[in-house]
Amino acid sequence: MFSLGSWLPALPGLSWGWALLDALLQGLVCACAVSVLCSLLKVYLYIQCLNDQERQAEKEAIRAQWWVLDSLHILVLTVLLALVGSRVAALVVLEFSLRAISTLLSLSKGAHSSRLYLLCQFSLGCGVSCALSFLLEGAPHSTCNLGLAAGLAGLLATYARRLARHVCTLYELHSPARYCGICILLLTSGQRGIPRLLHKALAITFGVADMAAVALINRDFLSTAEALRFWTPLTICYTLLVIHMQEEPRQSRDGRRSYQTVLVRMGGLFILLLTVGRWSDVLHVLISLVGELWCLLRAGVMLQACWQQ
């Protein structure tokens, strides 16, 4: 394997261009990961609504979503995740991981939260970004590696979107007649298989991302005292956020609460980084806020279906 720019002269403009290409490829990989998550959740929620006579309106709403918006969703996320710096991405990942652990511990044994999977979209993108930044740091052929990863991620995202489109279009026809192998598989194990798959995949992804996030944050500190000045207020801030998030389901079962939660989370991170961060970090928090709101807006129909569970 060779580096695409290895035979070119080392000019500042070319270096900037390759850095931009790397950022866009990395953003594309992250966006494809989010797309796969959304497609699988769409399949799961559609089948769940189809099997419940009282949720037929939600089933039709999921089916009526414009498929062309999936490509726009990937494009917007690619740009946003390419712009978010690794430091802020690491903070977003750590905050969500703590909140996810707290939420999962509060669930009954064997239960799962589809809403939590939907709320982790942008955090998942940040997690993949952190993992790639850590694993490819200093790699001589990072552009080629990212290009290969983007190709594989795009292939997975394409097949996941085709699966979701097939299910929303033909599952209702194929499942009673047991005509299609894919629909038969989903009929027999889809209700349990998809949540288990997502749970394991996200656990592994965020586990790797958390380790990468800690390493990416600590690399900027020259001494233990400097690290403590950053981690102490961060720990306090995240603890308060987790406590606040735990009260969310008790206070409201309205989908608008998800938007308020995002504003509280990003607002807390914004204030924290105004104190102990850099100005670039503050800008990246604002970009993250846009990304979180975009993901919630795109998943509005599925979020509404999750609230009815």
pLDDT tens column, 43-90: 998 888 887 777 778 878 888 777 778 888 999 999 999 999 888 999
pLDDT tens column, 212-246: 998 888 887 767 777 777 777 777 777 777 776 66
**How does residue 161 score in pLDDT terms, banded at 50, 70 and 90?**
very high
pLDDT at 245: 66
Arithmetic mean of pLDDT, 17-35: 89
- Is the pLDDT at 5 greater than 60? The verdict is no
**How does residue 1 score in pLDDT terms, banded at 50, 70 and 90?**
very low
Arithmetic mean of pLDDT, 252-271: 76
In whole angstroms, how large is the CA radius of gyration of the chain? 20
**How does residue 109 score in pLDDT terms, banded at 50, 70 and 90?**
very low
Arithmetic mean of pLDDT, 104-118: 68
Arithmetic mean of pLDDT, 294-308: 82
Phi, psi of 178, deg, nearest 5? 50, 50
Select the more confidently predicted residue: 42 or 268: 42
pLDDT at 247: 59
| Six-digit token string for 236 | 């306090």
Arithmetic mean of pLDDT, 90-101: 88
pLDDT at 110: 43
pLDDT at 190: 67
Select the more confidently predicted residue: 17 or 91: 91
- Is the pLDDT at 283 greater than 70? The verdict is yes
Q: What average pLDDT is seen over the chain?
A: 81
Select the more confidently predicted residue: 175 or 145: 145
pLDDT at 157: 93
pLDDT tens column, 112-137: 577 888 888 999 999 999 999 998 88
Quote the percentage of the chain above a pLDDT of 70: 87
| DSSP letters spanning the chain | ---TTTTS---HHHHHHHHHHHHHHHHHHHHHHHHHHHHHHHHHHHHHHHT-GGGHHHHHHHHTS-THHHHHHHHHHHHHHHHS-HHHHHHHHHHHHHHHHHHHHHSPTT---HHHHHHTHHHHHHHHHHHHHHHTTT-TTHHHHHHHHHHHHHHHHHHHHHHHHHHHHHHHHHHHHT--HHHHHHHHHHHHHHHHHHHHHHHHHHHHHHHHHHHHHHTT-SSHHHHHHHHHHHHHHHHHHHHHHHHHHHH---THHHHHHHHHHHHHHHHHHHHHS-HHHHHHHHHHHHHHHHHHHHTHHHHHHHHT-
